[in-house]
Structure 1
Amino acid sequence: MSATWTPDEIRRFTTADELQIAARRTDGTLRRWVPIWVVCVDEQVYVRTWYRRNTGWFAHVLDSQRACIRVPDLQSEVSVEDVGSRSQQLRADVDTAYRTKYARYGASTIEQMVSPAAAATTLRLTPEQDRITPA
């Protein structure tokens, strides 16, 4: 059963420069942690990649539709949903979130993350019940 993010968890994602994501192998062990930019829109968590759609961490989490993510003081199992071909409004909202949060990296970097190819890789991360919030 999926859960929803708490306001404190959304704050953690919003203030973290990036999250780390790891896909699970079929035996349940985690693949290596990969840092990735993260944004929140309407209390939902989104990530994208601007390269390697069919390889690496992205392909692994798409195949399993599950991953483990972490930011400071929070680790969670998540369901992964490919929303890259959803509404133009969702794309625009996620694009705006990337432009706002990561503007300090410069226009050329941001434009890669809001390009049509990157937008097509948008994933929504929904928490599972298993969360670890270190004390």
Structure 2
Amino acid sequence: MSGWTEDELARIGDAGEMRITSRDGGGGLRRPRTIWVVRQGGDLYVRSVNGPGSSWYRGTRDRLAGHVSAGGVEADVAFEDADDALDDRIDAAYRDKYGASSAAVGSITSATARSTTMRLVRA
């Protein structure tokens, strides 16, 4: 279970962007980054458009914990690798939300970005 309420899922899922921050080695928060977020069923997913080399994505791998802000919701989260079987559905969610013809959507649904798909679990 992702721990989100239906209201939080709706508010974050409808938000155009999310501010995401990972925790550093001492437990503090790193610099926030603005990214896209999509809802798939009762879960929220994020990807790194620049793939696994992105600094914010690498930061999530250190402690698998952070903080998000979107749609008026502020929450501490755990980052979990998403099930690869969901990639096509998550791609569709990105296309539906951000426009199938957008060049950025082409990047966020690329094999490189798909390899970074994470599920956000409310801590």
User: TM (normalized to structure 1)?
Assistant: 0.84
Paired-residue identity, %: 31
SS of match in other structure, 2:23: coil
Alignment map for 1:87-126 (pairs within 5 Å): 87=85, 90-103=86-99, 106-126=101-121
Q: Show structure 1 runs of 4+ deviating over 3 A.
A: none
SS of match in other structure, 1:53: helix
Output the CA distance in 1 between the equivalents of 2:54 and 2:33. Answer: 13
Alignment pair present for 1:61 and 2:60: yes
Deviation, 1:26, is 1.9
**2:27 is aligned with what amino acid?**
G
- Deviation string for 1:74-119 (max 9, x for gaps)? 1111110122x621xx001100000000007x43221111111111
| Larger radius of gyration between Structure 1 and Structure 2 | 1
SS of match in other structure, 2:12: helix
Contact 2:24–2:30 (Cα < 8 Å) also in 1: yes
Deviation, 1:28, is 2.1
Matched residue, 2:70? 71
Alignment map for 1:3-22 (pairs within 5 Å): 4-22=3-21
